[in-house]
Structure 1
Amino acid sequence: MNVLLLNGPNLNLLGDREPEIYGATTLADIERELTARAAESGARVECLQTNHEGEAIDRIHAARGSVDAIIINPAAWSHTSVALLDALNAFEGRVMEVHLSNVHKREAFRHHSYVSRRADGVIAGLGAFGYRAALDYLLDAAG
């Protein structure tokens, strides 16, 4: 199984940016854990974080036919990007949406996610553990 871990804008600042909301774990920590956990199951995780929406969309397009699943934390694009939704709709594999914070306890504009319309599952509010939960679900679903 090949999994793309795709993180959106500002997630490169994890561990430093608003740790009271997003926690102290860095994105590098999350990527190392998921890569190792996947390898234990014979799976592979490719990681990409970008602050550029077009780059994220291009990577989703490239994932078609070569990636079995995407774990995505679209961050602010969740609430704004129909283009990201359209790219995910063209992807045939499973999609898991992850948010570190519980977006439903935050500002009202964060309560809506375009990405959720395509996601097979949505995990919010579990901090960095949410990524592990998403990967474990995908590995279990793959059999």
Structure 2
Amino acid sequence: MSTDENTHIDLESFWPYQVIVLADKISRYTLEVVRSEADINQSQWRVLAAIADKPGRTAADVTAVTPMDKTIVSRAVSSLIEQGLVEKTPSQGDKRRSTLETTAAGLKIYSTIAKKLATTLIPSGEGDPSNTEFVRNLKEFSSRMDKINQAQSSSKT
């Protein structure tokens, strides 16, 4: 298959490709840390981290911030509850909704994993200006992608 010179993408300098490669490396490393520190999988870790980050989130909130399929989030929540790492509390105003919180055991696991990840992935510290700038750029690119995806979804309907 030949490629027109005007449409050729140099993967070494194409930032979307490099972000995918980086995300894969981070995911693999995170999985190894999660496996070595706790008896949970990657999905369970992502749910646990989302709940520990903001206690009181609902499963729908977790789905929105992770972003994972709601079925995967539901299974992860159920297994974390079974393991005693998360607890579900029915909402006082709407019994169909429940809020999620980490238990003491869940918070201990979260803290152990989070500390190891922060130490190895952010060696210069979160307050480092280069880290702050990097995160700002990531959020800007993410926002651009949200707009592109919304426009694409709108054009299909």
Asked if TM exceeds 0.5, the reply is: no
TM-score if structure 2 supplies the norm length? 0.28
Structure showing greater relative contact order (alpha-carbon pairs closer than 8 Å, 6 or more residues apart): 1
Name the one with the larger helix percent: 2
